[in-house]
Structures are given as C-alpha cells and as structure tokens.
Amino acid sequence: MRKTNSLMGRLLRGAAVAFVALFGTASHAAAPGITGSTGTGTATFNLSAAPGYISQPDGTSVYSWGYGCASTFAPGFLPGTITGASCPTMQLPGPTLIVNQGDAVTVTLTNNLPAAAGNTSILFPGFAVTASGGTPGVLTQEAPTGGSVAVTYTFVADKAGTHSYYSGTQGDLQVEMGLYGALIVLPTTIPTNCQNTPNDTARGTDRGGGAQSDFRLAKAAFNHSSACYDREYLFQFSEMDIEVHRQAEAQKDVSCAQATGCMIVSTEPYVPTYFMINGRSMPDLMEPNYALHFPNQPYNANPHMHPGELTLLRIIGTGRWQHPFHEHGNHVRILARDGNLITTATNKLAGPLLFTTTTTPGMTMDGIYQWTGKGLNWDAYGHANGITTETCVPDANGYYTSAPTANNYYEWCADHLKPLEDKPFGQVGKGGPVTLPDPNIFAFGPWYSGSPYLGPDATARAVGATPVPPSGTVGNAGDEAGFFFMWHSHNEREITTNNAFPGGMLMMMGVDPWVYVIDETK
C-alpha cells in the first residue's frame, strides 16, 4: 500500500506481512488451459461464442457472452495433473489456448449467440492472421449467428509469451459481455540454465517426499537465460457494468436478421461495479479451478510459492479500464510486453522492475516475481526466539542456498537472528522493526496461526522462545505457517464487489515454507 490513509493502508500499515496463516483446504492455481488437436507443428481449435450466466459473490447472476469449445471439439488439457478439467461451450474468460512457438494455429469459430447479437469474430493481435469463411467485417471475417457458418483464422504462432484474443466485432459491447481470452505460446528452445523441475537440488530438493509436482507449461517463458521459471500464474483483469448486461439480456430474444444485430445497448456512461481476475471476483477466485459451482468460470486466481522460487506472472488487461495491479512483497521484473521480449542490443534483459503491473486494455505482460524475505529487517523464521540450531550461510547473493533441505532454505542471511518486535505488548522493547498489535484483537484460525513466523512448527518456535516470546503468540504445535500477501488493484474502487469491500480484483498470494507441498491439482 502506498496511500497509508486508505482503508487498506489502515489494515496493513506498519507490517510488511499482510497475514500469517495456517494451512487448511486451500486450493491453488497454475495456468490451466487447452491444447488443440495437434499433429506435429499444428494446433487446431474449434471454438464457439455463446451466451450464458456467470455468478458474482453478492449472489448476482450476470447474463454474459463467452467463447468456449464447440460441442464436437475435445481438446487436451494442461497442466495434465489438474483434475476435473472441462471446456464448456461458453466460459468467461474464454479457454486459454496453449500452443508451441512455430505452430501453425487454426481457430474455427461458430456463432451461437442470439440472432439479436449479430455477427462475431476473434482478433489475435500481434500475429499475421489469415481469415476465411463467414462474412467480411470491419476488422476481420465474422461468423453470422445460427451456429452453422464457421469462420476460420490461421496464423503461425511465431512469438512466444502471453497474448490476448478478443472479439473484433462491436468491441464496446462484445468485449464487455465477455468475449475475450488468452493465448500462451511456449518457446521451442529452452535455455540451458533452466531447472529441470522446481525441486532440482540447486533450488531445493523435494521436501514433500516426491509430492512437489511440476505444474509449469514450460521451463522458460522465452528462449532467454533470464526467462526461466519454477511456477506460473495467468491473471486476466476485466471489469463489468451490469447495466450493459441487463440491456442485452432484455433484448436477447428480439427477432433479427441483420449482420450488425438488432440490440440497442448503451455502453456509455460506463459505470462498472464488478472487477474480476480470470472472470471471478474475490473471494470466488480462491475456489478451485473447474469448480462445479462456477460452470462458466473455470479459472481461479490463487498463487502460492516457496521462498526463492521464480514465479512467472502472465498478465492481460481486458475491458476498458486501466488496472494498476500491485503484487505485494516484491517488485515484478518484466520480461516482455505483448509477447515482445525486452532486451538490450547485447541481448541482456532490459525489462523494468515494476511496483504495479499496470495494464492498459489489450496489453499483456510476462514478468518474474520472487519472494525471499530480503528487506524485511527481521528474521522471518523466528531464529531470534530460541531456534539457534539453524544456521544461515550466505551465498554470493546473500541467501542461504547451500543446504537445499534446510527449513530456512533461501533465507536472507543479513536478517538472520534479527528480532521481530520493537515493543512487545506489555513488555520492554527488543529492538526489532515491528510493533505487533494487542493479541486480543486477533482471531486465531485459518488466517492467523498465533505465530508471526514462517516455517514448520512456527508457533512452537514462537512460544518456545528465550528469553521471551513475541507478544500475542499462541502455541499451535505442529502447524506450518506461511505468509499471505494481498495482491490487488491499486485503483481501490476495483477491490469492491458491487460497492462492498472486500471483493473485486483482490487475491491473497501465499508464501509457503518449503516443507509444505504446493498442490496445484485443484
């Protein structure tokens, strides 16, 4: 938070850590999507545009339009370890299309929108698209309603990275209604310095007895030594003005034979009240991918990571507003914009380090985020409170990376043994940078474990302290505690749902101790 007088600022002021949490039934995320029916070097997708209803956390059911899989099309799903994957005929956002760089991509679209909606289409910005079939529109070939005439878009996916796709027909209405999605192009060449699995010995061996699976779509976002990653998440930001959707719903059954449709829908003034990431608002976005109670909103937004892991963020701005999304805990090193890797003349990464990854409509970004605890100015593992058997030997960069099985693997050694608290409640100050609140205002449970520390047995570490535990710690023996950071739009209007806080474009990023297995299968 930058504005300390804001509501969020009052909640979070003075603490680098938003929440310390126990682990329970949390679901996780990854970057799920579909693969085409492929031969070697080709990827074919048969999509439909169709109407449907999506749900918002205030109970509202919103009439929307979305791309989905044609009923005759059986795609493949990635990552293959995610259970219950499906591709309905309408979803919001549309299916994430995953292809390999160099693939000849063919996307066939049929239009199952109501006749009153008129023609529709798909644009793939950044690619040289050949469109055939259907009827000519302003920007591309369009598919008429009725579902029987298909339009086909072909292009070579020559550019790696994260790309958007969206309707090229009546964009102010059709994109607002939900006709947009993501295209991920995986590089054909992987740099030799990338990790084979997220748990290579160089980056920490498997602390979960073989359970720490690889959920990446690839080992690198681009063919560049700075583009390796260990985990990845896709975030599509959009907003929604329900009045537009109500007008469209009221006119959906009007009989119509015009290519331009027969709806008279005012898209101005534009007053959105729903702000979504991957088609869901907080807290719905924390539910599992493909959750049955969100039949047309299959993708969640629930990032987790271990300290030190390189996490690839695939970011797309959709809709009409700018979305200044802030990833708390560190800045994001940008690799590429709109799939264009940002490098110097000598091929060194030149992408900026961003405080907020602000997207304008249609813009995409690929960036690397890493959380290590560097800069906290206190020992996040509670070593200052009696756990002195664990050491911290700095590597050339200052991190403890020489002992992959250590609980405090990747600790920032300059803060090793630094106390947490300045003036513990009811006690004398110990010199740390943080003053904890009165323990009586905390509720212990899923969002606060009773310990401010990261790692296995974090609460036991806290209460077993010498000479005194931090105030407000309660022993919950055996618990593993992680840190949760609020990732949210810095346009604070956007962290509401229908004007109620919290909601909208807000998620919780979890830093889990290495001993905790991050299971992205749900």
Measured CA to CA, the distance from residue 280 to residue 57 in angstroms comes to 9
CB of 503 to Cu ion, least distance (A): 15
Alpha carbon 383 to its chain centroid, in Å, reads: 32
# residues contacting Cu ion (CB under 5 A): 2
* Interacting span for Cu ion (CB under 5 A) from 64-72, 247-255, 284-292, 321-329: 321-329
DSSP code at position 422: S
- Beta strand 151-156 pairing with 104-111: antiparallel
Token match 């680098």: residue?
16
Rounded CA gap, 425 and 243, in Å? 50
Binding to Cu ion (CB under 5 A) within 123-152 occurs at: none
Instruction: Judge contact between 152 and 106, C-beta under 8 A.
Output: yes
Rounded to a whole number of angstroms, the minimum distance from the CB of residue 437 to Cu ion is 19
Q: How far is the CB of 8 from Cu ion (least distance, A)?
A: 6
Binding span for Cu ion by CB under 5 A among 100-108, 122-130, 318-326, 438-446: 318-326
Is 10 or 348 the residue whose CB approaches Cu ion more closely? 10
| CB nearer to Cu ion: pick between 326 and 416 | 326
Find out whether 91 and 68 touch, Cβ atoms under 8 Å: yes
3 state SS of 406:
coil
Judged by CB under 5 A, the stretch of 45-53, 310-318, 324-332, 508-516 that binds Cu ion is 324-332
**Which of 7, 468 has the CB closer to Cu ion?**
7
| Torsion sign over Cα 380, 384, 388, 391 | positive
User: Can residue 323 be called a binding residue for Cu ion (CB under 5 A)?
Assistant: no
Which of 326, 337, 374, 461: binder of Cu ion (CB under 5 A)?
326
Which amino acid, 354?
A: L
Q: Where does this chain touch Cu ion (CB under 5 A) — which range of 88-96, 325-333, 354-362, 413-421?
A: 325-333
CA distance 13 to 329: 14
Nearer to Cu ion, 306 or 326 (CB): 326
Is residue 1 a contact point for Cu ion (CB under 5 A)? yes
Task: Give helix then strand counts, H and E, for the chain.
Answer: 4, 26
Least distance between Cu ion and beta carbon 18 (Å): 9
CA distance linking residue 497 with residue 482, whole number of Å = 27
354 binds Cu ion (CB under 5 A): no
Strand partners, 364: 316
Our CB check for Cu ion shows the closer of 157 and 315 to be 315
Nearer Cβ to Cu ion, position 12 or 22? Answer: 12
Provide, rounded to whole angstroms, the least separation between the CB of residue 309 and Cu ion. Answer: 22
Interacting residues with Cu ion (CB under 5 A): 1, 326
